[in-house]
Amino acid sequence: MTHETPASGATEQIAEEKSAVAAETKPKPAKKSISRFSIVKLEKRVTATFSIMAKAFVIILIAIAMVFITRELSESGYVITQVNVPPSFEQAGYTGPVVAKRISENLTRIINRTSMQAMAEGYSVTGDEDDVSVDMVGLGVPVRGVVDLIGDALGVSRKKKIVADITLEGDNVVLVIKVGRETPERSETPLNANIGIPVKAVVTNASETIFKYTNDRVLGSYFGNITLEYEKNISLAKYQLEKYKNDPAREALAYARWGGSLVSLGKLEAADAKLKQALALDSTQAPIYTSRARYYFALRDYKKALEYAKKSYACLPKNPPDYLLFTAFLNLGYFYSFNNQSDSAIAYYHKALAVDPKGALAYFNLSYEYLIKGDTTQCLDLVEKALANDLGVATIKQDADMAPLMNHPRVKEMLLKYEE
């Protein structure tokens, strides 16, 4: 059998067929598909980036909101949220908000009179603090209102709340006041045809109760130095002994308060016992030595009184708060005066006034130094400054040194002007 060689035309045809097959199987360049792939990839990257940024922005907003909420909820001030009054009070113009405002103003007044601004809490009335609103889905949402709701849900109050109910029972006006989580406290005052009189008593009782549970130091200074209500100060000391049980430093201060009040009431033997209890608990507290100085002063041992006043000053902490420094200078001036060292007394009274230019007792005690020098005009100028800075009229009336001046026209005028 012989093999035939294909003709040249057949060979060319076969070559063309192979070339066509090769052309069909060879991949074609996908220029447009590469371009479309790049755009999609870029879009995905951009979308992912914006998603991350949006989430980060939300996280930052949440963090800021949490900081704001924490700050708001951590405020330690007190707010008088509600005062309920009987219809007769409202008819006379003493509505709940009006009485609440008067209580708040009286709290501020007492703080100023005791020169203890640095130690006192903040007190306000609902409505005093402007809220902040933000627009959410077309609605103005009060931020602080929402914070209050969150705090209530968590069992945390943004501010400690004070609520008071005033009612009439027979011939008495009854006040029931609740401070934070403390047990409600009740007090009564006689009703009067002039409703302003029982309202004033209610404001006083409410203020004292609020300080009792929120800042007993202010109340103790108020009873001991301003109103001179020593029985009330003893009751406060007993409350403090119960409140600060197993805290030797606080118990010592309570015994010192008790002993100092007994000194003022002339019960020296009982005072001595309380002051010894105070020293046994803590011998480093300045107020204990102050009360001890007053004890020796009552015994007319003025040299010993000055000695203990110096010990009190020596026990002050480094960089003491102004009210402690003011008290120390005031006492040193007082006991130097009774040791017939008037110039030293004047110097310390001026030191006290440098600490607190509104220190009423410093003005009043300084007035005595000019009285004994025979300068009645300067004396009465200082008495008036003392009264203008909220010294109680009772202090003037009860001071034996002022007795010779009580009929002086200017004194009568001042007492009438500043009568509480």
pLDDT for residue 266: 95
Please state the rounded mean pLDDT for residues 155-183: 85
Cα dihedral 401, 407, 412, 413 sign: negative
Q: Is 61 exposed, middle or buried (0-12, 13-18, 19+ CB in 10 A)?
A: exposed
Q: Is 75 helix (H, G, I), strand (E, B) or coil?
A: coil
Please determine whether the domains at 215-315 and 326-420 fall in the same fold group of CATH. yes
Q: Examine the pLDDT at 94 and tell me if it is beyond 70.
A: yes
User: If we measure between CA atoms, which residue out of 142, 138, 140, 112 comes closest to residue 127?
Assistant: 142
Token readout for 404 is 């010779």
pLDDT at 149: 55
> Angle at the Cα of 223 (from 217 to 227), degrees rounded to 5?
145
pLDDT tens digits, 251-297: 999 999 999 999 999 999 999 999 999 999 999 999 999 999 999 99
Identify the pLDDT of residue 175: 96
Whether the pLDDT of residue 352 is over 70: the answer is yes
326-420: what CATH class? mainly alpha
Q: What is the pLDDT of residues 188-200, one digit of tens each?
A: 999 998 999 999 9
**Phi/psi-derived region of residue 131, left when phi > 0, alpha when psi is between -120 and 50, beta in every other case:** beta
- pLDDT value at 16 more than 60: no
pLDDT in tens, 102-127: 999 999 999 888 877 666 667 878 65
Q: How confident is the model at residue 140 (pLDDT cuts 50, 70, 90)?
A: very low
What is the spatial distance between Cα 195 and Cα 108, in angstroms, rounded to a whole number? 23
Contact, 144 vs 158, CB < 8 A?
A: yes
- Tens digits of residue pLDDT in 312-323: 999 998 888 888
Three-state secondary structure along 30-56?
A: CHHHHHHHHHHHHHHHHHHHHHHHHHH
**What percentage of the chain reaches a pLDDT higher than 90?**
56
Residues in the chain: 420
pLDDT at 133: 40
Strands (E) in 143-287, as ranges, are: 160-169, 172-179, 185-190
CB 161 within 8 A of CB 124: no
- pLDDT on residue 99: 94
State residue 43's pLDDT score: 65
Residue 141: pLDDT band (50, 70, 90) is very low
Assess contact for 387 and 226: CB atoms under 8 A.
Answer: no
Q: Is the pLDDT of residue 394 over 60?
A: yes
Specify the pLDDT at position 135: 42
Q: Give residue limits of the domains in the chain.
A: 38-74, 76-214, 215-315, 326-420
- Whole-angstrom Cα distance, residue 188 to residue 198? 9
pLDDT digits (tens, 9 = 90+) for 399-408: 888 999 999 9
Whole-number pLDDT of residue 411: 92
Give domain 215-315's CATH number out of 1.10.3720.10, 1.25.40.10, 3.30.470.30, 3.40.50.720.
Answer: 1.25.40.10
Contact criterion met (CB below 8 Å) for 240 and 216: yes
Residue 161 has what pLDDT?
87
The model's pTM: 0.66
> Any bridge partners for residue 79, and if so which?
124, 161
Dist CA 337 CA 52 (whole Å): 76
Q: Quick check: 212 pLDDT over 80? A: yes
Please write the tens of the pLDDT for every residue from 18-65. Answer: 555 454 555 555 444 444 555 666 666 667 777 777 777 667 756 655
Calculate Rg over the CA atoms of the chain: 40
Q: Is there a contact between 198 and 189 (Cβ–Cβ < 8 Å)?
A: yes
